[in-house]
Amino acid sequence: MKNKLSLLALALTLSIGAAHAATPFEKMMYSSFEAKGQAGLDRLDQDAAQKFCSNQANLTGGGDAKLREKIQNDNMATIKQPSDGKYIGDWKSGEKIAQSGRGATWSDKAGSENGGSCYNCHQINIKEVSYGNIGPSLWNYGKLRGYSKEVVQYTWNRINNAKAYNVCSNMPRFGHFKLLNEKQMQDVMALLLDPESPVNK
């Protein structure tokens, strides 16, 4: 009898659904949104980094330092190096990717190519006057830092997963969430690190 009751209780819990419908906040979130286009309700599910950085205190550098480091290390471990060993693609294509802010919204066609939205937050080529300032200026990126293996690898990693270095970085994880494909990331790399790119003139 007891077994039957606990089974019933379990069934009820499962049918209410979702391990997430627990707190009043989670109930509010999951009942206030609906899936549309490619933007499913699963986009409300948080990974460890998102959970950590939803706490205002952690955003400004507070919180559990060990947890911060662990999440960064876990993100670092997911980064894949380019399959063809090439880090630098075509800066002209990279500029187009940096300009485009399209992709991944419920009104974008699923499967269509995303942009990098880079100019939304960064100054890159100073010829572009319409740039945001959420991220630092990337003008003369390679010229200032050099073109060493370390700089190249660091830049690749940062584009792939900025949270490997700073868990609450505002920069999207372009490789981690497949927002950009490998070739696109190589092209953005070229915009920043090809000595021929106008960014390094």
| Residues within the interface to other proteins (CB under 8 A) | 24-25, 28-29, 31-36, 39-41, 43-46, 49-50, 53-56, 59, 104-107, 119-121, 129-134, 163, 170, 172-173, 177, 179
Inter-CA distances, 154 with 18, 54, 67, 104, 177, Å: 38, 26, 22, 26, 18
Min. distance of Cβ 192 from other proteins in angstroms?
19
Based on CB atoms, which residue is closest to other proteins, 5 or 134? 134
Min. distance of Cβ 101 from other proteins in angstroms?
8
Pairwise CA distance, residues 115 & 103, whole Å: 6
Based on CB atoms, which residue is closest to other proteins, 68 or 193? 68
Based on CB atoms, which residue is closest to other proteins, 83 or 130? 130
Min. distance of Cβ 132 from other proteins in angstroms?
4
Q: What is the DSSP string of 101-119?
A: ---SSTTSPTTSPP---HH
Pairwise CA distance, residues 90 & 83, whole Å: 17
Min. distance of Cβ 42 from other proteins in angstroms?
8
Q: Residue 45 CB: number of other CB atoms within 10 A?
A: 13
> Phi and psi dihedrals of 13, rounded to 5?
-60, -45
Based on CB atoms, which residue is closest to other proteins, 151 or 179? 179
